[in-house]
Amino acid sequence: MMQTFDMLRHKMVEEQLKPRNIRSDAVLDAMHNVPRHLFVPEDMQRYAYHDSPLPIGLDQTISQPYIVAFMTEQLQPVRGMKILEVGTGSGYQAAVLAYLGCDVYTIELLEEHAARAKKILAALDFTNVIVKHGNGYSGWPEAAFDAIIVTAAPATIPEKLLEQLKEGGKMIIPVGDVNAVQSLKCVTRKDTKIIEHDLLPVRFVPMVNGC
């Protein structure tokens, strides 16, 4: 079965990611090697490499592979970069960033998901990920980050996250109402100013009670 999953990952990269202009060799390598099927419920594993989001329980989803690859590429991650992720979910996005050599601090509102993600990431020996159960609107106040990635959509960008972004840092975040098409934004802190631009329309689960 592992050979089958390996083949499905290769097909995912070749048929879903490269044709949609995911160009980073490092990101493509991460998407090819991180076992996405381990981050979804067992009864959904046969769909893990389909071109779609999947339910992971508690009304949450794992994003489609293309969106994970696109958001990762937009961050331009490099080894040793300190990254905050808001909305751990199953832990897949954190695993992709960890595979790329980043130090990942990821926070999840739902305790069950946080515990499960921590277990999976540890089993895969991603020692450069710290998982915390908590309120994502507040971010990780005791630290500042080179980059921030948000995998749940607030109505507006939380001020606390902007405060934790280092000078020159970049945040990728979906913003908008859950009942409408949201905008995936790239937010950069440059010369004490906040600069943002829209990347593409998306649909993410909402930041419920600050997840």
Residues with a catalytic annotation lie at 63
Which residues sit opposite 193 in a β-bridge? 190
Q: Regarding beta strands 129-133 and 54-57, do their DSSP bridges make them parallel or antiparallel, or are they unpaired?
A: unpaired
The Cα 72–Cα 13 span in angstroms is 14
Residues 15-20: contacts with CB under 8 Å, at least 24 apart: 16/51, 16/65, 16/66, 17/65, 17/66, 17/69, 20/66, 20/70
Secondary structure of residue 142 in the 3-state scheme: coil
Residue 35 CB burial class (10 angstroms; 0-12, 13-18, ≥19): middle
Residue 142: name the closest of 171, 162, 164 by CA.
164
Identify the H or E element spanning 84: strand 82-86
In eight-state DSSP terms, residue 74 is H
